Amino acid sequence: MSGGESAAYVYALTRPFPAGAVRELRGVGEHPVRLVAEDDLVAVTSAVPLREYDEDALKAKLEDLDWLEAVARAHNRVVDEVARHAVTLPLRLATVYRGDDRVREMLRDGRHRFGAALSRLAGRVEWGVKVYADPAASSSAPGPSGTPQTEARESPGKAYLRRRREQRQRRDDTWEQATGLVREVDEALRGLAEAREQHRPQHVRLTGERGENVLNAAYLVPAERSQPFLDAVARLRERAPGGTRIEVSGPWVPYSFASVADEPAAETAGGAAGGPADAGRRAGAGGGPSEGAP
């Protein structure tokens, strides 16, 4: 591929590791994965045809579900694989440069902040935890009054109203219990994690899950503390009231915690911002926005 025709799709930044480890690995569009190194930083890339990844092409293709799914899964696959060999800072989908020289330039320019982010994520994994509330699933439980389905001298109208009342009661109970469970889960897991990020609840109608997704959170956990974390989830799950459900995904490369400082702090405010901004920046420098109490 000649220079003008090809672009560099970047999956992730890492510390150096033997290139042989990814020799067989294929990325987006089945293109081979190549490492572009600059000093002690490595960009994990694929050479892709520029015409397929320029602004216009991407705009059009991002609308194409099949394409998007293939690219997203390929992106995640490469990130996952690379993370087996070195600490990995995953980039957002479709980060594209006009050639390796530009990639090296990016690595040089961001050396410090990338380095800081890599150090923060080294040895950490991300666990995704979701809580679902599903009133329908608790229907087998007896109603609050413990009444059986039929009552001897109950008129159809009364029976209907009673059933409706019980249904509503069940729904209210489930929500209340789910809310309590969310608090309990989050408190317990937060204590075992270094940081936590809340994702938007997923639309269950679209994911095909049952019930309503009431908590969708990600926890940053040192890899060696994964087992205690999962044990805690298992304990929570045992105690989860009927109609609620806890699900775990992972371990993920810590996508949800892969932020880098925007710019060198000294440059950002330029003296214009007052004290609060400074305080915020200092707090943020510690390790991401997620650490503060809500």
Partner 1 sequence: MTEPTPWRSQTTAVQPSGGGSNLADVLERVLDKGVVIAGDIKINLLDIELLTIKLRLLVASVDKAKEMGIDWWEHDPALSSAAAREEDELALENRRLRDHIAALEGEDAPALRAGGVEADRAAARQRRQAEERER
In the range 219-238, which residues lie near partner 1 by CB under 8 A? 223-224, 226-227, 230
260 near partner 1, judged by CB under 8 A: yes
Q: Which is nearer to partner 1, 169 or 232 (CB)?
A: 232
Instruction: Collect contacts of 213-217 with beta carbons under 8 A, ≥24 apart.
Output: 213/130, 213/131, 213/132, 214/131, 214/132, 214/133, 214/178, 214/179, 214/182, 215/129, 215/130, 215/131, 215/182, 215/185, 215/186, 216/128, 216/130, 217/128, 217/129, 217/130, 217/186, 217/189
Place of tokens 């995904």: 249
26 near partner 1, judged by CB under 8 A: no
* Contact with partner 1 (CB under 8 A) among 5, 32, 51, 54: 54
Q: Which is nearer to partner 1, 23 or 73 (CB)?
A: 73
285 near partner 1, judged by CB under 8 A: no
Backbone angles phi, psi at 10, to 5 degrees: -105, 125
Place of tokens 């009673």: 162
d(CA 194, CA 192): 7
CB 102 within 8 A of CB 9: no
Map the footprint of partner 1 across residues 126-185, applying CB under 8 A: 128
Q: Which is nearer to partner 1, 91 or 185 (CB)?
A: 91
d(CA 112, CA 109): 8
Closest approach of partner 1 to the CB of residue 91, in Å = 5
Amino acid at 218: A
Map the footprint of partner 1 across residues 63-82, applying CB under 8 A: 63, 65-66, 68-69, 72-73, 75-77, 80
202 near partner 1, judged by CB under 8 A: yes
**What is the pattern of x (binds partner 1, CB under 8 A) and - over residues 180-199?**
-----------------x-x
Closest approach of partner 1 to the CB of residue 15, in Å = 5
* Contact with partner 1 (CB under 8 A) among 33, 100, 104, 124: 124
Closest approach of partner 1 to the CB of residue 256, in Å = 5
Please enumerate in sequence order all residues whose Cβ is within 8 A of that of 10, keeping only pairs 6 or more positions apart, or say none: 43, 44, 45, 91, 95, 96, 97, 103
24 near partner 1, judged by CB under 8 A: no
122 near partner 1, judged by CB under 8 A: yes
